[in-house]
Amino acid sequence: MQLFKWPGQLVLFNFLMFMSWRSCREYSSRFQRDPQSVISTNDDRRNPDFYFPADPEADLAESSPEEIPLQRQKYRPVIATTPRPAAAPAFSYNPKDKNGPPNWNRIDARCGGRYQSPILLNTSSALVVNRKRPLRLTGITNLPESIRLQNDGHSAKFTYNWRNVERPVLSGGPLKTKYIFEQFHFHWGSNSSVGSEHVLDQQRYPLEIHLVFYNGLYGSFQEASGQVDGIAVVGLFYEIYKHSVNEQLNTWTFFLYNVIQPNSEYTISFVDTFPLYEVIGDIEWPYFSYEGSLTTPPCLETVTWIVATKPLLVTEKEMNQFRRLRSATGPMVDNYRPLQKLNHRRVFLY
């Protein structure tokens, strides 16, 4: 019984009982009805209020960054499971496959959870946050020592190797601590009417980038990915640049031809590296935020999503550079997960 951690609490409880029979009765009936609501357990994740107080503004009051880790430990339980090593998971995006999205829960039960991603983002039903802390991304112009580009059989992934350079750090907005940049990867379609994982007001975009960050309270992405507040992913849509098919707007897509085969990789050396700024530009867009999951198995529900409302631009030529990549079963296209149920989550618009 963790209700009374120190004798003073018991004294205080008795005092309250004595002073106010009525409020005490309310307290104990609530306690009897749902002991889980008093004793902090992992089930707190089932309660959306655990993440955001009823008044989102209260959550957004400025607080000094130094006291953040202490606050977190007071009320945030930690999932006891350790993340699995990144062994190539045998999942597919074909709904008819036995390893297709409807059966991902057989690959990892957590894919059948109630707080999965992606979701439909609906501007008219999102809760608008008025008093917002600005979202900050520092180190956006820093150049890494090299970039490892991988075709992992499901996506094209760019992992920056920083060595002595300061990594980009994401903070502010809905985030309570600092999140360190890990990698970015993409989801795209076989044609430009499909491809993005999130859907914004009925619209699916041809391409979606996911910039993955992990909570600086933990030692690595692997360690953080199993923690409730472990991961933050920034998602941005791309729309087709209509004025020219062939223009190269995103020069880095040129590197994709080096990893056409599944499970191949290529190292972009220092002279050819590019900063995050060259990929996503300034982060001054309005965005949605909600609590969700990784969109591939093991689908860990440890992600704070930040999805920009303003799309970036891509040309058809660049889209074809993506569509030329291959997976184990054919062209790597339509590598987006179907929409998941919102269930009891709330989506905020910042």
Ligand X SMILES: *[C@@H]1O[C@H](CO)[C@@H](O)[C@H](O)[C@H]1NC(C)=O
Binding region for ligand X (CB under 6 A) out of 74-82, 191-199, 217-225, 227-235: 191-199
Q: Where are the alpha helices (DSSP H) in 186-308?
A: 221-224, 276-280
Nearer to ligand X, 133 or 198 (CB): 198
Which residue type sits at 63?
Answer: S
For residue 55, the number of C-alpha atoms closer than 13 Å in the C-beta half-sphere is 4
Within 10 Å of residue 162's Cβ, how many Cβ atoms?
Answer: 16
Rounded Cα distance, 258 and 162, in Å: 22
Q: Mask 131-170, x = binds ligand X (CB under 6 A)?
A: ----------------------------------------
The answer to whether 224 and 112 have CB atoms below 8 angstroms apart is: no
- Is there binding between residue 190 and ligand X (CB under 6 A)? yes
- Is there binding between residue 309 and ligand X (CB under 6 A)? no
Tell me phi and psi for residue 40, to 5 degrees: -70, 120
Strand segments (E) across 74-189: 120-121, 127-128, 135-138, 146-151, 156-161, 169-172, 179-188
Among 42, 193, 220, 269, binds ligand X (CB under 6 A): 193
Binding region for ligand X (CB under 6 A) out of 15-23, 140-148, 184-192, 287-295: 184-192
Rounded Cα distance, 271 and 143, in Å: 10
- Is there binding between residue 125 and ligand X (CB under 6 A)? yes
- Is there binding between residue 14 and ligand X (CB under 6 A)? no
Among 124, 130, 164, 246, binds ligand X (CB under 6 A): 124
- Is there binding between residue 194 and ligand X (CB under 6 A)? yes
Active site residue 154: yes
Q: Which residues sit at the interface with ligand X, rule CB under 6 A?
A: 120, 122, 124-125, 189-191, 193-194, 202, 334
Catalytic center residues: 154
